Structure 1
Amino acid sequence: MKVLLTILALATASASGAALPGAAEKAINVKDISGRITNGYPAYEGKAPYTVGLGFSGGWWCGGSIIGHTWVLTAEHCTGSDVTVYFGATWRTNAQFTHWVSRNDIINHHNADIALIRIPHVDFWQMVNKVELPSYNDRYNDYNEWWAVACGWGGTYDGSPLPDWLQCVDLQIIHNSECQQTYGSGTVTDNILCVRTPDGKSTCGGDSGGPLVTHDGNKLVGVTNFGTVSCTSGAPAGFQRVTYHLDWIRDHTGIAYY
């Protein structure tokens, strides 16, 4: 039997309990969701150089992925204010460098929980680098049963504070029909990708907007969106499916792989 809950965004406050503008609750009418890495492992320096931390006004924290010299991909529900982008930070607030970005340089999708942040040009090296998007040849690949890694600075257990050290977790992608058994077809639509969360391994609060990258080929296939309010419940975790948004990303950034 499904239990009807309320969907919450996966962003979290690093210092205050203030609501994230426009993101504290999303009227999706299905489940309670939140976003952090639980039961993962500490990342070694340089493991995920495409991962950035996003510190928003009001103390809210999210993740994002560098997809080009001047672009970061993240979740729309994170983007309620100006943001400081932390580049190359394994220790959360000890970045190689930071850039402050006005909310005017944030492009929200509006019809899906995904957003782009236009950043000042960054050079790539071992600690700061881009992750490639799937190619157009893979736009209909559902990645079912593929293994992927999610990274972020979300809490490491239910109700925990944000960790200082970047955490990662390896998760297996599942068919949307399996995910719909928990969240329903109204939430798990074609633009959603889900993963299994066995043994309490999952994303949770503070990981919103962060990357899900395939082990095979190192392609960015997901943007962290939601999970159950108890991140260790074993329920699937949900992401925006990047292949669904390739045209939108290309139209705004010029980035595409053929």
Structure 2
Amino acid sequence: MKVFVVVILAIATVSAGVLPQVDTPVHPRDLVDAPSIEGRITNGNKAASNQFPYQVGLAFKNSAGSWWCGGSIIANTWVLTAAHCTNGASSVTIYYGSTLRTSAKLKKKVSKSKFVQHASYKAATLQNDISLIKTPSVKFTAAINKITLPSIASSNSSFAGQTAIASGWGTTSDYDSSVTSYLQYAELQVISNAVCQQTYGSSIVTSGVICVASTNKRSTCQGDSGGPLALNGKLIGVTSFVSALGCEKNKPAGFTRVTSHLDWIKTKSAVFY
């Protein structure tokens, strides 16, 4: 997968009750030694055909280069992804219905005029890392379909202790140099924000973030950015960050919390939860 986000072990204030961290937030696109568009779910499982019909691949471009992200279909004319994926892009080619990464059932190219990036996205702290992409209408099939948004009634749920599924394309370890051909997924346990703050600090892990534990070197990584975190068939997270130390370091992975942005999604897209 491509580009992604990575991030951080951020510095939280002592007054917030979180110990200072040693690393600072950084996007992989800003790392000199980082691959330009590599990504991965480390040590994941190979997805079956049509297992994740809501997953799309996003090939972004601008005058300086290109990068790969994931996204989720939330309506036949809307895809949800991360702001750090759309940020700076001039266009995107959307890959629908792929299990084999380069073999999409359908491709659509759209310009940046169709991007709806959250106006309050902050790259330094990764807040509001969420974007919408207005797409041409697509017909739903077994291979291409939407994922349901969580209900407003679940907005107060932390989801901690439950097992969610992240999916995306990419290499299978921190040491691989090329992406995998097949869609990968991992089952990951949601942890409380208080636990996640012990690693990244409270300036990064706010109420708009949801974290999962990484065990046995299983985690999201670079090109998984913008992809889905699903729980019981509903989209609860958008892949946002991992530890700058590496994706296999068993540090928590962070996602934009969808329940914190339901009203924004509804306002911008008219897609109801």
TM-score norm. by structure 2 comes to 0.83
Q: CA deviation at 1:125?
A: 1.0
Aligned residue for 1:28?
none
Q: 1:17 to 1:171 in 2, by over 3 A?
A: closer
Q: How does 1:192-211 map to 2 (within 5 A)?
A: 192-211=209-228
Give 5+ residue unaligned stretches, structure 2: 1-18, 121-127
Aligned residue for 2:163?
147
Aligned residue for 2:110?
101
Q: CA deviation at 1:35?
A: 6.1
- The one-letter amino acid paired with 2:255 is F
Tell me the distance in 2 between the aligned counterparts of 1:35 and 1:236: 17
SS of 1:200's partner is: coil
Contact 2:101 2:183 in 1 (8 A): yes
Deviations 1:111-137 (A, max 9, x none): 211000000001111000000000111
Tell me the distance in 2 between the aligned counterparts of 1:101 and 1:233: 36
- The one-letter amino acid paired with 1:256 is F
- The one-letter amino acid paired with 2:205 is V
Task: State, as a whole percentage, how many aligned pairs show the same letter.
Answer: 46
Q: CA deviation at 1:41?
A: 0.5
TM-score norm. by structure 1 comes to 0.88
Q: CA deviation at 1:155?
A: 2.7
Tell me the distance in 2 between the aligned counterparts of 1:155 and 1:108: 28
Contact 1:11 1:78 in 2 (8 A): no
Say yes or no: does 1:223 pair with 2:241.
no
Say yes or no: does 1:37 pair with 2:51.
no
Tell me the distance in 2 between the aligned counterparts of 1:211 and 1:108: 17
Give 5+ residue unaligned stretches, structure 1: 21-33
Which residue of 16, 22, 28 corresponds with 1:4?
22
Aligned residue for 1:51?
55
- The one-letter amino acid paired with 1:225 is S
SS of 1:256's partner is: coil
Aligned residue for 2:3?
none
Say yes or no: does 1:125 pair with 2:141.
yes
Q: CA deviation at 1:6?
A: 2.8
Tell me the distance in 2 between the aligned counterparts of 1:175 and 1:248: 24
- The one-letter amino acid paired with 1:59 is S
- The one-letter amino acid paired with 1:249 is I
Q: CA deviation at 1:9?
A: 2.9
Structure 1 stretches of 4+ moved >6 Å:
none
Deviations 1:182-241 (A, max 9, x none): 000000001000000100010001000000001x3x110000000113101011000000
Tell me the distance in 1 between the aligned counterparts of 2:47 and 2:140: 19
Tell me the distance in 2 between the aligned counterparts of 1:204 and 1:128: 24
Contact 1:193 1:239 in 2 (8 A): yes
Q: 1:17 to 1:168 in 2, by over 3 A?
A: closer
Which residue of 122, 128, 134 corresponds with 2:150?
134
Tell me the distance in 1 between the aligned counterparts of 2:190 and 2:29: 22
Tell me the distance in 1 between the aligned counterparts of 2:55 and 2:240: 15
Tell me the distance in 2 between the aligned counterparts of 1:225 and 1:198: 18
Q: 1:10 to 1:256 in 2, by over 3 A?
A: farther
Aligned residue for 1:92?
101
Q: How does 1:68-79 map to 2 (within 5 A)?
A: 68-79=75-86
Q: 1:103 to 1:162 in 2, by over 3 A?
A: same
Q: 1:86 to 1:76 in 2, by over 3 A?
A: same
